Amino acid sequence: MLEIDNLTHVYGPGSPNEHHAIDGLKLSVAAGELLCVVGPSGCGKSTLLRSIAGLIKPTGGEIRVDGKLVRQTPDNLAVVFQDYSRSLFPWMSVADNVALPLRRRGMDKRQRREAAQEALESVGLAEAGRKYPFQLSGGMQQRVAIARALAYRPSLMLMDEPFGSVDAQTREDLEDLVLKVRGHHRMTIVLITHDIDESVYVGDRVVVLSKAPAHVVGDLKVDLPAPRDQITTREHPDFVRLRGEVGRLVRGVDAPAATA
Amino acid sequence: MTAETTPARAGQPNQGRPSPSRARRGKLLRHAVGVAAFLLVWELAARAGLLPWLPAASASLARVAELAFDPAFAGDLLSTLTAAAAGLPLAVLVAVPIGLLLGTVPAVEETTRAIVEFLRPIPSVALIPLALFFFQPEINAKVALIVYAASWPILINTLYGVRDVDPVATETLRSFGFGSAAVIWRVSLPSAAPFIYTGIRLAASITLILAISVEYFVGGSGGIGAFLIQASTGIGADAMLDVIATLVWAGLVGLAVNVLLLRAERRLFRWRHA
Which amino acid belongs to residue B60? S
Pairwise CA distance, residues A36 & A18, whole Å: 28
> How far apart, in Å, are the Cα atoms of A78 and each of A98, A102, A196, A205, B112?
12, 11, 24, 20, 38
Whether residues A57 and A158 fall in one domain: yes
Interval B197-215: pLDDT, tens: 999 999 999 999 999 999 9
Interchain proximity A73–B168, CB inside 8 Å: no
pLDDT single digits (tens) A105-151: 889 999 999 999 999 988 888 898 899 999 998 889 998 999 999 89
Torsion sign (Cα): A198, A200, A206, A207: positive
Taking CB atoms and an 8 Å cutoff, what residues of chain B touch A54? 175
Does A126 lie in the same domain as A244?
Answer: no
Pairing of strands A156-160, A77-80: parallel
Q: Are B221 and B138 in contact (CB under 8 A)?
A: yes
The answer as to whether A121 is a domain residue is: yes
Residues A103 and A211 in one domain: no
> Domain for residue A84, yes or no?
no
Does residue B208 or residue B222 have the better pLDDT?
B208
Region B219-229 average pLDDT: 84
Q: What is the pLDDT of residue A138?
A: 87
Q: What number does CATH give the domain B60-273? A: 1.10.3720.10
User: Could you tell me if A97 and A217 lie in one domain?
Assistant: no
Q: What is the pLDDT of residue A255?
A: 60
Rounded Cα gap, residues B13 and A112, in angstroms: 43
Q: Which residues of B196-212 are buried (b: 16+ CB within 10 A; e: fewer)?
A: bbbbbbbbbbbbbbbbb
Stretch B146-160: mean pLDDT, rounded?
95
% of chain B with per-residue pLDDT over 90: 60
**Distance separating alpha carbons of residues B210 and A160, to the nearest angstrom:** 52
The ipTM is 0.86
B residues 30-49 closer than 8 Å to A (CB): none
Whether the per-residue pLDDT at B6 is higher than 60: the answer is: no
Distance from CA of A112 to the nearest CA of B (A): 15
Helix (H, G, I), strand (E, B) or coil at B222: coil
Whether the CB of A137 is below 8 Å from some CB of chain B: the reply is no
Give the end of a domain, one of A133, A153, A173. A153
Residue A28, domain extent:
2-76+154-251
Put simply, the answer to whether B176 touches A134 (Cβ < 8 Å) is: no
Residue B33 has pLDDT above 70, yes or no: yes
Query: CB distance B274–A73 less than 8 Å?
Result: no
pLDDT of residue B84: 93
The residue type of B20 is P
CA angle B195, B196, B201 (to 5 degrees): 95
A90–chain B Cβ distance below 8 A for any pair: yes
Any domain includes A8:
yes
A258 in a structural domain: no
Q: What is the CATH number of the domain that holds A187?
A: 3.40.50.300
Same domain assignment for residues A38 and A54: yes
DSSP for B19-74?
A: PHHHHHHHHHHHHHHHHHHHHHHHHHHHHTTSSTTPPPHHHHHHHHHHHHT-HHHH
Mean pLDDT, rounded, for A154-176: 88
Same domain, A49 and A132: no
**Residue A124 located in a structural domain:** yes
Residue B257 scores a pLDDT above 90? yes
Least confident piece of the model among A14-18, A74-78, B177-181, B269-273: B269-273
Q: Work out the angle at residue B207's Cα, subtended by the Cα atoms of residues B100 and B239, and round it to the nearest 5 degrees.
A: 170
Mean pLDDT (chain B, rounded): 87
Q: Are residues A133 and A204 in the same domain?
A: no
Write phi, then psi, for B137 (nearest 5 degrees): -65, -175
Residues in chain B, overall count: 274
Neighbours of B194 (CB within 10 A): 21
Q: What digits encode the pLDDT tens for the residues A81-96?
A: 988 888 999 999 999 9
Whether B88 has a pLDDT exceeding 50, the answer reads yes
Same domain, A70 and A49: yes
At A27, the amino acid letter reads L
Instruction: For chain A, say whether B66 makes contact (Cβ under 8 Å).
Output: no
Residue B5 is predicted with a pLDDT of 38
Average pLDDT over residues B12-38: 78
Please say which residue of A128, A153, A178 terminates a domain: A153
Is the separation of the CB atoms in B85 and B148 below 8 Å? no
Q: Of the given ranges (A183-192, B110-119, B156-165), which has the lowest mean pLDDT?
A: A183-192
Dihedral of CA B12/B18/B20/B26: which sign?
negative
Q: Do A134 and B274 touch (CB under 8 A)?
A: yes
The pLDDT of residue B16 is 54
The yes-or-no verdict on residue A253 having pLDDT over 80 is no
Tally of CB atoms within 10 A around A113: 17
Of B168, B174, B193, which has the smallest distance from its Cβ to A73's Cβ?
B174
How many structural domains compose chain A? 2
CA distance A33 to B74: 75
Last residue of a domain, one of A136, A153, A170: A153
* HEC assignment per residue over B172-197: HHHHCCCCHHHHHHHHHHHHHHHHHH
Same-domain pairing of A143 and A104:
yes
The answer to whether residues A213 and A142 belong to one domain is no
Residues A225 and A194 in one domain: yes
Instruction: Decide if pLDDT at B261 tops 90.
Output: yes
The CA-atom distances, in angstroms, between A135 and each of A63, A129, A140, A158, B272 are 39, 11, 10, 26, 12
Whether residue B168 and residue A87 make contact (CB cut-off 8 A), yes or no, is yes
Q: How far is CA A251 from the centre of its chain?
A: 21
Least confident stretch, B201-210, B236-245, B261-270: B236-245
Same domain? For A192 and A240 the reply is: yes
Position A41 in a domain: yes
Convert the pLDDT of each residue in A3-45 to its tens digit. Answer: 899 888 988 888 888 888 888 889 999 998 999 999 887 788 8
Domain membership of residue A83 (yes or no) is no
Residue B132 has pLDDT above 80, yes or no: yes
Looking at residue B233, its pLDDT comes to 82
Does position A248 have pLDDT exceeding 80, yes or no? yes
Q: What is the mean pLDDT of chain A?
A: 88
